Amino acid sequence: MSPPKRQQRKDGKERLKREVERSRRYRVPVSLIFLAGSGSRRLLSCFLFVGIIVSSCLRFALWDGPVSADRVYVGLDTRADSLLTGCLIAVLFENNTLKFSRRYSTLLGLLGVVILAPLFVFASSKGSFVYLGGFTLVALAAGLLLISLLTNSAIVRLFEMRWLVWVGQLSYGIYLWHLICFKVAQQVTMRWTSSIFLITMAEFALTLLVASVSFYWLERPCLRLKDRLGRSHSTHPPILEAQAI
């Protein structure tokens, strides 16, 4: 007799938790902090590049291994390549290594968009492609786009469009709520349609709705409260200064 579904879900969550805890053994070592503070940016860049390769290869090796797909998806060691790609771009940009003319910078941005657009439409987090190099490709394409925007290319005007700026304002809420919104939208829409297009549209519509509510009713009031608290502290001199006066 098989255990009840509730017990199966509980056992699955416990197993995933243990696997994620194991992945934390591969945290970024203290040597990375030492390299960042030592001023050796060339050595730091090499270290980050090697980290990107190692993380990608580890994800590739574990994809068909004994661990679950969820472990590979959420593990720090198997997803560090995206984070390290951003770090590498930041180091190179700060070191003035990423210097391009306006034309080449625009071409880099367009290349990033061309790569990201089909991946955004066709790639799936449940497919093997993203685990066998897709996540790294997304990180590199996003890096090209970021370099283009940082170097003031012609593509900057495209991302200054109002609706894109608005989406950027909602980006944290989209990141925070998209997973649960996707699952709710799938459960609701799959009852009356099997169209992948309609299901996807429902997922994005619900995510934008919830992110908008989160931004205007939660994030903005909290930010205004933070500003008021900051102004109130700045108007009162510190205790030591008051005693000195």
Instruction: Identify the pLDDT of residue 112.
Output: 92
Q: What tokens appear for 206 in the block?
A: 């619900």
CA distances to 15, 42, 93, 100, 157 from 151, in Å:
45, 21, 9, 7, 12
Task: State both tokens at 59.
Answer: 């994800």
Task: Return the ∠ at Cα 30 (arms to 98 and 61), rounded to 5°.
Answer: 75
CA–CA separation, 159 and 114 (whole Å) = 15
State the Cα angle at 70 between 170 and 115, rounded to 5°.
55
Helix axes 76-94, 5-23, angle to 10 degrees: 40
Interval 136-145: pLDDT, tens: 999 999 988 9
Answer yes or no: are the C-beta atoms of 55 and 81 closer than 8 Å.
Answer: yes
Average pLDDT over residues 40-60: 88
Locate 110 and state its tokens. 């367009």
The least confident of 19-23, 165-169, 205-209 is 19-23
pLDDT of res. 243: 43
pLDDT for 152-179, tens place per residue?
Answer: 778 888 888 899 899 999 999 998 999 8
**Of 104 and 204, the one with more pLDDT:** 204
What is the rounded distance in angstroms from the CA atom of residue 88 to the CA atom of residue 79? Answer: 15
Higher pLDDT, 83 or 123: 83
Q: pTM to 2 decimals? A: 0.67
Handedness of CA 49, 52, 57, 60 (dihedral sign): negative
